[in-house]
Amino acid sequence: MKILVTVKEVAEAEDEFEIDGLDIDDRYLEYDLNEWDDYAIEEAVQIGEDGDDVEVVSVTIGPERAEETVRMGLAKGVDRAIRVWDDTIAGTDDLDVAAKAEILASVVEAEDPDVVFSGVQANDDTFGATGVALAERVGFEWAAVVNHLDQGSLSEGTASVRRELEGGVEELTDVELPAVLTIQTGINEPRYASLRGIRQAQSKPLDVQGLEDLGLDADVVESPVERTAVFEPETESDVVTFDGDANEEAAQLAEMLRDKGVVEG
C-alpha cells in the first residue's frame, strides 16, 4: 500500500507585525509545519508501522526553505519526500486552490497512491479546500474533516471514517479507495522526531521537481483570483484593558468580577 501525504510549511505572524504591500512583512513571519499536516503524517506513519509493505511519501509545493519541515516529516517516519518548485511557481504570488490541485494531481498520477492524507486547512491562507479539490481532479473518492480512521478497513478497499461535524456530532461514513482524506487535529497524538529519526532523515530521498518534470505547462499557476489588499481588520471592540503589573491587573479584574456579583470572596 502506498500513502501520499500532502504537507505545507505555513507562515505564522508574530504578535507585532507590519504589512508590506500584499502580505505581512517577511521579517514578522515564522515558518512551521502546518498543524493539521502533522496529524496527517502521524496517521500515515502509524499505518506504515503496523503494516507490511506500506510506503509513506510526502509531497509539498514550496521553496527550499520548506525542506526543514519536509525533513521533519522524514524524521517522524515518512519514507520519501517530493518537493515541487521552480521559477514559474516562485514567480506567482498566490497559488490558488485549482493550481495546487493541478500540481498535486500530477504527483498523484505519477505515484499512484491508494490513499492520500491532507490537512483540513493550511493555517496561513486557510482555503480549507485543497484536499477535496485534488480528489475530484484525480477521480478519487474523499472525506473532509476526518477525526477517526479505522485503519484496518483500508486493506478491504474502504476507508471507514468519522467526519467531525459541528456541535459534537460525528458522521460515520465509508468511502471507497482510492480516496483523499482531509485530516482533523486530535485524530491521533503526533510524535516528536527522535534524534535517531532526525539522523536517518538526512539520508532519505527528497526529490525536487519542477512543473516541466511533472509534465505541466507554466499556465497552471495562472489564476483569475487575485489578492488586491491586505489590512488589519477594523475592530468595533471597546475593550477595557487593565494596566499595571500582574498584581494590579489581577486586582482590577477581581474588582470587576465582584462588582458584577458573579463571584464571592
Partner 1 sequence: MSDVLAVAEHRRGDLRDVSLELITAGRDLADAQGGDLHLAVIGGDAEGFAGELNREGVDAIHAVDDGNEFNHDVYVQAVEQLFDEIGAGTLLLPNSVNGLDYAPAVAERLDVPLVTDAIDLAHEDGLSVTREMYASKVATTVDVDAAEVVVTVRPAEWPKAEGEGSADVRSFDPEIDESTVRSTVKGFEEVGGGDVDISEADVLISVGRGIEEEENIELVEALADALDATLSSSRPIVDAGWLPKNRQVGQSGKVVTPEVYIAIGISGAVQHVAGMKGSETIVAINTDSNAPIMDIADYAIVDDLFDVVPELIEEFGGEPP
Ligand X SMILES: Cc1cc2nc3c(=O)[nH]c(=O)nc-3n(C[C@H](O)[C@H](O)[C@H](O)COP(=O)(O)OP(=O)(O)OC[C@H]3O[C@@H](n4cnc5c(N)ncnc54)[C@H](O)[C@@H]3O)c2cc1C
Please state the closest distance from residue 247 (CB atom) to ligand AMP, in A: 43
Q: What is the DSSP code (8-state) at residue 150?
A: E
Residue 168 contacts partner 1 per CB under 8 A: yes
- The runs of H, that is alpha helices, within 51-161 are 67-76, 87-90, 97-111, 130-138
- Verify binding: residue 130, ligand AMP, rule CB under 6 A: yes
Among 121, 130, 182, 188, binds ligand X (CB under 6 A): 121
CA distance 102 to 130: 10
For the record, the C-alpha cell of 141 comes out as 473518492
Using the structure block, give the residue that is written with the C-alpha cell 489590512. Answer: 231
3-state SS assignment for residue 20: strand
CB of 37 to ligand AMP, least distance (A): 5
Told to check if 90 binds partner 1 by CB under 8 A, we report no
The verdict on 102 binding ligand AMP (CB under 6 A) reads no
What gap in Å lies between CA 182 and CA 1, rounded to an integer? 18
Q: Which does 91 bind (CB under 5 to 8 A by kind): ligand AMP, partner 1, ligand X, none?
A: none
Q: Judged by CB under 6 A, which of 131, 178, 190, 197 binds ligand AMP?
A: 131
62 binds, among ligand AMP, partner 1, ligand X, none (CB under 5 to 8 A by kind): ligand AMP
Give residues 105-124 in contact with ligand AMP (rule: CB under 6 A). Answer: 118-119, 121-122
Binding to ligand AMP (CB under 6 A): which residues in 195-234?
A: none
**Sign of torsion over alpha carbons 174, 179, 183, 188:** positive
Number of residues that bind ligand AMP (CB under 6 A): 22
Query: Is residue 129 part of the contact set for partner 1 (CB under 8 A)?
Result: yes
Residue 90, classed as helix, strand or coil, is helix
Q: By CB under 6 A, tell whether 182 contacts ligand X.
A: no
Q: What is the strand order of the sheet 115-119 is part of?
A: 158-164, 141-150, 179-183, 115-119, 2-6, 55-61, 80-84, 206-209
Q: Residue from 138, 145, 180, 183 that binds ligand X (CB under 6 A)?
A: 145
